[in-house]
Amino acid sequence: MNDKVYIHELIDVIGHNRARYMHHMTANWCPVAVEERNQLCFGVWGTVGSTGRWPEVVNMWELDGWDGLVANFSHELSHDSLQDPSLAEWWAAAAELRRGGFDRIVVPEPWTDPIDTLVARGVRGEVYAHELFSCAPGRSREVLRELHDSALAAATALGMTCVGAWNVAMGNDAECLAIWALPDWSSWADYERAWDAGGSMRAWAQWLAGAEVSMRRTLMVDAPLAPLRLGRQPQVGDRRPLDTI
């Protein structure tokens, strides 16, 4: 049972700063987040531009349930500036690397493992598939149940690992998402072919169409200091000057 709550972020990067932003987020922010907020980095990925918006970074943060999220917001927003004063220098540097983004609060399915468990299992992908589902209000939990019951086994047989599946909170159960780790690029091509007629994912595709569920898949590659690549949370010792990246 996973009782965590997650922040899912889509970040618009300015110009050629994606590598610098990913390092600034992982090496310069993650150790502070763990120490001050007990907020773990679940993942930091760069979106493959040919499959989605670019240049973009996807961040996910793991907190100790709703109470952990409350503590996080209270820590951040209890100042007149609506920013943690101790992070003023960090925010200033980040502002030069990104222009904004779009965040969601997401709640995991019970079978989604927390990040420490995924790291201990050695889950890793050369590439990741990020799937965002949009459906009629009230049906997103049904989509996630069907994903588990109908799609998971077929995807696993293709060599994929489901990193997690989440329902989008603060709405009317009309959105959910899943992230898959693929061992190599060839496995991604196999996955795409499996959605065609006669492929192993075709039944799942037909269920989505019949239920009038829209799905948008993009590809991602994780940052050098992302926990699934490192096999641990980023640490202070991982820091490098941004002008060297």
Please report, for the chain, the start and end positions of each structural domain, with discontinuous segments joined by +: 5-111, 115-222
More confident call, 86 vs 178: 178
pTM, 2 dp: 0.96
Q: Round to whole Å and give the CA distance between 202 and 71.
A: 43
pLDDT tens digits for range 178-232: 999 999 999 999 999 999 999 999 999 999 999 999 999 999 999 999 999 999 9
- What was the pLDDT predicted at 91? 86
Domain 115-222 CATH class label: alpha beta
Q: Is residue 82's pLDDT more than 70?
A: no
Q: Is residue 1's pLDDT more than 90?
A: no
**Which CATH code fits 5-111?**
3.30.70.100
Two tokens at 78?
């209890």
* Identical fold, 5-111 and 115-222: yes
What average pLDDT does this structure show over 118-143? 98
Estimate to the nearest angstrom the gap between the alpha carbon of 101 and the chain centroid.
Answer: 14
Provide the β-strand partners of residue 44: 59
